């Protein structure tokens, strides 16, 4: 078929893209002329999916590939003004088409908002497969390093061969870009962090796992319904022998149910006995060791509720005032198998406070547990004096057999109680957050350096400079307020610079 050019859409050293019309016809198409032989388009010509633009012609002549594809009216997701609900719906459609492509061993390798069209029919189309490839078993890394900087993971720059997890990394960056400020919501924040882990083994291992994250609540409804059916079945005597069921058998039945049709994840058991540690403002709960986050790390979501009376909130229905998450082994008491977090910095107005906690699954084998509610904590310290600010901030550095050690130190450690907690935050020369670490005073003292260790792997920029701040979380919230950093942070609260 012959075509006449309507207008030039894009031109670069590697490609020329025109909007064209068939001669003596009305239908318009996209014509792409690419430098090189792009065999992936021959494979794509046989792929049919509602969220892919249709390919009508693919031809190769020497070192040039010409493609005639469907013209999709609409806007890229980077431009279209969509509600949060529409964005999430579009993202799930993107997951669906990538799941289809990955099933055919096609890796897109250039997922970004400008390559996703929100069409006039209200659905997406994934376009631009110029960087796409099919994995080869005998390669340890890609031979062509293509993609868009900022959206491509390390393995796409020659560190390893790309696979489906490469697209998952770009999906995380894309989701963050599309959501804007909404990406800071805990639900999205954790999904994005898992997608964009620099280690591919710690990302979602399939797009299906990622897509399932957005229907997690629906799955919990199914679990609850299935559990009710199971309980009714046992109660009505449809089992043989003794009707009583041990806790072990019930847990086994729940795990089998969670692995039935509609889910491939086990729902974690809920943390046990969430409670406040007397009047300290420290939240405690029973540790759930099988969270499955890797490297022995466990994670939890928490929600904080303020009430005017000692009427416990319902974590399944009532709105919380604040939420957050905690990860790592540092706050686990090995003797009692409990986890703790100091929430005193979040107690701002007098009232009765409750917290709810959920064990955080890895989204590969485990789904999050239900939330469980704590006992009440009566806060009366709204007018209490603030703890003093840490002073005399300095870097402490010394050489060991394993290399240089770094500590963030301050001079007025004696102003605090052993159970008060310190949060050290490190920033780079551009003002970007690098890492943070929280220790209680007793741990700071026990190490003998009057400060908190900063792991050397966070201070790796050879041309970089780093400085830190220190917040103090009180363990006596009805007597003293926590010292928290104002926003923006004044210069006097920063340490001197450490220059690499």
Average pLDDT over residues 473-477: 95
Percent of the chain whose predicted confidence (pLDDT) is above 90: 41
For 463, list phi and psi in degrees, rounded to 5: -100, 15
* Residue 158 in this model has a pLDDT that exceeds 50: no
Question: In whole angstroms, what is the distance from residue 297 CA to residue 161 CA?
Answer: 27
332 by Cβ neighbours in 10 Å (0-12 / 13-18 / 19+) ranks as middle
Give the pLDDT band of residue 154 (cuts 50, 70, 90).
low
Give the pLDDT band of residue 213 (cuts 50, 70, 90).
confident
According to the model, what pLDDT value does residue 458 have? Answer: 81
Q: Are 46 and 88 in contact (CB under 8 A)?
A: no
According to the model, what pLDDT value does residue 215 have? Answer: 57
According to the model, what pLDDT value does residue 325 have? Answer: 73
Residue/partner pairs of 141-146 with CB below 8 Å, 24 or more apart = 146/109, 146/110
pTM above 0.75, yes or no: no
CA dihedral (298, 282, 325, 332) in degrees, to 10, reads -10
According to the model, what pLDDT value does residue 383 have? Answer: 95
For residue 47, give the H/E element and its range.
none
Question: In whole angstroms, what is the distance from residue 452 CA to residue 446 CA?
Answer: 11
Residue/partner pairs of 58-67 with CB below 8 Å, 24 or more apart = 63/35, 63/36, 63/37, 64/33, 64/34, 64/35, 64/36, 65/33, 65/34, 65/36, 65/37, 65/38, 65/41, 66/31, 66/32, 66/33, 66/34, 67/30, 67/31, 67/32, 67/34, 67/38, 67/41
Q: What is the mean pLDDT of the chain?
A: 82
Straight-line distance from the first to the last Cα atom of the chain, in angstroms, rounded to the nearest whole number? 63
Any idea which of 53-67, 199-213, 232-246 has the lowest mean pLDDT?
Answer: 232-246
For residue 360, give both structure tokens: 């955080």
491 by Cβ neighbours in 10 Å (0-12 / 13-18 / 19+) ranks as exposed
Give the pLDDT band of residue 487 (cuts 50, 70, 90).
confident
Give the pLDDT band of residue 151 (cuts 50, 70, 90).
low
According to the model, what pLDDT value does residue 312 have? Answer: 94
* Residue 475 in this model has a pLDDT that exceeds 90: yes
Report helix, strand or coil for 24.
coil
């Amino acid at each position: 078929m012959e075509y006449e050019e309507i207008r030039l859409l894009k031109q670069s050293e590697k490609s020329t893209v025109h909007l064209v019309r068939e001669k003596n016809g009305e239908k318009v198409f996209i014509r792409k002329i690419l430098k090189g032989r792009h065999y992936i388009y021959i494979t794509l010509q046989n792929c049919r999916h509602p969220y892919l633009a249709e390919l009508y012609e693919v031809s190769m002549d020497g070192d040039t590939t010409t493609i005639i594809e469907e013209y999709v009216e609409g806007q890229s997701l980077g431009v279209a003004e969509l509600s949060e609900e529409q964005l999430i719906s579009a993202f799930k459609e993107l997951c669906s088409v990538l799941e289809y492509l990955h099933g055919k061993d096609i890796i897109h390798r250039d997922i970004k908002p400008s390559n996703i069209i929100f069409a006039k029919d209200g659905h997406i189309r994934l376009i631009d497969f110029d960087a796409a490839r099919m994995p080869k078993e005998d390669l340890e890394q890609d031979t062509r390093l293509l993609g868009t900087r900022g959206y491509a993971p390390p393995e796409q720059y020659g560190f390893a061969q790309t696979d489906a997890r490469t697209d998952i990394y770009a999906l995380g960056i894309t989701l963050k870009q599309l959501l804007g400020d909404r990406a800071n919501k805990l639900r999205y924040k954790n999904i994005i962090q898992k997608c964009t882990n620099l280690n591919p083994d710690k990302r979602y291992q399939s797009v299906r796992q990622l897509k399932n994250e957005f229907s997690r609540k629906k799955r919990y409804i199914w679990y609850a319904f299935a559990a009710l059916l199971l309980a009714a079945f046992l109660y009505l005597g449809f089992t043989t022998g003794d009707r009583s069921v041990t806790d072990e058998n019930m847990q086994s039945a729940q795990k089998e149910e969670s692995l039935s049709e509609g889910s491939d994840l086990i729902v974690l058991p809920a943390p046990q006995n969430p409670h406040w540690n007397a009047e300290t403002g420290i939240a405690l709960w029973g540790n759930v060791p099988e969270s499955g986050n890797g490297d022995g790390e466990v994670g939890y979501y928490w929600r904080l509720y303020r009430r005017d009376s000692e009427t416990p909130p319902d974590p399944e229905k009532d709105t919380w005032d604040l939420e957050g998450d905690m990860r790592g082994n540092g706050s686990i008491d090995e003797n009692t198998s409990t986890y703790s977090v100091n929430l005193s910095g979040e107690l701002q107005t007098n009232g009765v406070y409750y917290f709810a906690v959920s064990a955080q699954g890895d989204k590969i084998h485990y789904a999050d547990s239900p939330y469980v509610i704590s006992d009440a904590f009566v806060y009366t310290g709204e007018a209490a004096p603030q703890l003093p600010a840490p002073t005399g901030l300095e870097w402490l550095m010394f050489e060991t057999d394993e290399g240089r050690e770094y500590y963030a130190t301050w001079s007025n450690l004696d102003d605090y109680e052993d159970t008060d907690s310190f949060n050290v935050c490190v920033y780079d020369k551009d003002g970007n957050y690098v890492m943070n670490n929280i220790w209680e005073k007793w741990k700071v003292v026990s190490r003998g350096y009057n400060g908190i260790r900063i792991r050397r792997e966070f201070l790796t920029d050879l041309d970089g400079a780093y400085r830190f701040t220190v917040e103090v979380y009180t363990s006596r919230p009805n007597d003293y307020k926590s010292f928290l950093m104002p926003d923006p942070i004044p210069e006097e609260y920063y340490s001197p610079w450490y220059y690499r």
